[in-house]
Amino acid sequence: MSGDLSPIDKAKFVAARRAAEFVEDGMRVGLGTGSTAAWLVRCLGERVREEGIRFRGVPTSTRTAELAREVGIEVVSLEEAGWLDLTIDGADEFDGELSLIKGGGGALLQEKIVATASDQMVVIADAAKSVETLGAFPLPVEVIPFGWTASQALLEEALVSMDVLGRQTTLRMNGDQPYHTDEGNYILDLHLSRIGNPRQMALILNQIPGVVENGLFIDICDKVVIGYGDGKVEVRDINAGTVDEDRVDFVEDDNLFRDV
């Protein structure tokens, strides 16, 4: 299996495989959305099959829910689970303080709700997602469809007074139609190039009428697991102030897709 993976997919796989070790029997676990999170779900499904581990998973999108059920994970809603022990999710960018940009997969609202309803959030990512300053990846902002152009105008006006390099905003599309989130909302992508003060921006954006949530995750992530194409894994713990290195060996007859 691993011999067919690109270096970037190997990096995502080893990060997911290492992060899957944080899940213990009986836990309530938030399951993220996106390509790296999909690796995590498959790795957890493998643990369910081979180790008999049992836990309840709370997905952050319909896509994740479908995959989790396919690999044998018990899926419940956040209301059924109550408070979560752990959420593991990907990120589009993270900085040295483990502030994140998320929402490239369109699930930022559910992802933020689930992450903040957890004792701990662990982010899994390849090394390319590590940045000195957030903002190269477009910042997603979820808005309700009613009056979205007015919300967009107010967003662009607010950006004038913020420490950013770019101010272009675009409506995310799905073909020739606006992209719809699982909640039926739209996403405006903010092309900022650099965000000088993410904390200030997160607060200001959510005060704009029509904005449901933004993709800045500040003071939410506790650990980040960074994968590399050679199998190296780095675990950064923002609370303990530690950086640990590990290695995940590839097993050529590994088949994470056996039951998918």
Widest pairwise Cα distance in the chain? 55
Is-catalytic flag, 111?
yes
Binding site per annotation, positions: 33-36, 89-92, 102-105, 129
Binding site per annotation, positions for substrate: 33-36, 89-92, 102-105, 129
Residue from 111, 142, 156, 213 carrying the catalytic annotation: 111
pLDDT at 45: 98
Low pLDDT (below 50) residues in the chain: 1-2, 253, 257, 259-260
pLDDT at 259: 45
Could you report the per-residue pLDDT of 211-226, keeping only the tens digit for each?
A: 999 999 999 999 999 9
Q: What is the pTM of this model?
A: 0.94
- And the tokens for 155? 């967003």
Question: Domains of the chain: which residue ranges?
Answer: 2-129+219-247, 139-214
Reply yes or no on domain 139-214 having CATH 3.30.70.260.
Answer: yes
What residues contact 143, with CB distance under 8 A and at least 6 apart?
Answer: 151, 152, 185, 186, 187, 188, 210, 211, 212
Could you report the per-residue pLDDT of 32-49, keeping only the tens digit for each?
A: 999 999 999 999 999 999
Give the side-chain half-sphere CA count within 13 A for 243.
Answer: 6
Between CA 195 and CA 139 the distance in angstroms is 9
Could you report the per-residue pLDDT of 182-204, keeping only the tens digit for each?
A: 999 999 999 999 999 999 999 99
CATH class of 2-129+219-247: alpha beta
Same fold across 2-129+219-247 and 139-214 = no
- And the tokens for 105? 């997969």
